[in-house]
Structure 1
Amino acid sequence: MKRLALLALIAASPTFAQDTSPAKLIAGYEAQSGKAADPAAGRAFYLAAHGTGKPETPSCTTCHTKSPKASGQTRVGKVIDPLAPSANRARFTDSAKVEKWFGRNCDSVLGRACTAAEKANLIAWLASL
């Protein structure tokens, strides 16, 4: 009985909340954009120096490193967990967090919101690693 109560508590914990998956996100962004996700375009997007956002964050790799399987670091030194779902099971499982961080990071790197196609491409590439 105690074990069942503990499992119920863990499942209800916000830390373990999983309302989506990389596959569901990709499908949703594909539907919004009307285009199939292109992992190669996602890789190119991630590695590119865009130069249209904030000068201190010209690319995704500024904070996330060139390897999405590795931990990154914010400009103030805070550790960022790996982006690749294969290295971080919790990545792309909370739709609110996904949208929050796309909003912040796209604005910082691009100076604008990411398109649905860019999001689909990026997640498709990260999920393929």
Structure 2
Amino acid sequence: MLTSWRLRALRSLYVFGLIAGVAGLPAYAQSPAQILNGYTAQSGAAPVPSRGQQFFTTRHGREWACATCHGVTPTGNGQHAATGKTIAPLAPAFNPERFRDSAKTEKWFRRNCTDVVGRECTASEKADILSWLIALKP
């Protein structure tokens, strides 16, 4: 017969095992549209794809624009300006792996915006850029 403390200990182990198991699962796969909806909600304004394209192709007082590495139309491979490393297409229609994980998307927006703009991009800027990238079709 299990005593109350043993039963509590078994329950604790079970809950710990569930938490550990869930933590090892891959992140929930999102769609580019879901990530765009998140940025749109944060910004409180509808995204403007043409504004995203302009942001992407323009230098913002720094050495590079987004297009420097990703290409003016990011539907093919790009090349990192400093390392020469090949960069897979950025537009989701040409690379289905793009914009499927919000944490990864945030990581790269943070890094690239810092390089290109010298600060983190706003939710509105991210929504504009992503809406333009989603609009690019084969």
- TM-score, length of structure 1 as denominator length: 0.81
Q: Tell me, which stretches of 5 or more residues in structure 1 are unaligned?
A: 1-11
Residue 72 of structure 1 pairs with residue 82 of structure 2:
no
- Shift of residue 19 of structure 1? 2.4
Instruction: Give the aligned partner of residue 99 of structure 1.
Output: 106
- The change in CA–CA distance for 1:18 and 1:64 in structure 2 (over 3 A counts) is farther
Percent same amino acid among aligned pairs?
A: 51
- C-alpha deviations, 1:58-107, integer Å up to 9, x for none? 20011111121011111211110101011100000011110110000000
Q: Tell me, which stretches of 5 or more residues in structure 2 are unaligned?
A: 1-23
Q: Which has the higher contact order (CA 8 A, sep 6+)?
A: 1
- Residue type of the alignment partner of 1:41: R
- The change in CA–CA distance for 1:13 and 1:68 in structure 2 (over 3 A counts) is farther
- Shift of residue 22 of structure 1? 1.1
Instruction: Give the aligned partner of residue 43 of structure 1.
Output: 53
Aligned residues: 112
Residue 63 of structure 1 pairs with residue 69 of structure 2:
yes
Distance 1:13 1:30 in 2: 28
- Shift of residue 25 of structure 1? 1.0
Larger radius of gyration between Structure 1 and Structure 2:
2
Let me know the Cα RMSD of the aligned residues. 1.6
Distance 2:108 2:73 in 1: 18
Aligned mate of 1:30, from 16, 32, 40: 40
List structure 1 runs of 4+ shifted beyond 2 angstroms.
Answer: none
- Counterpart secondary structure, 2:99: coil
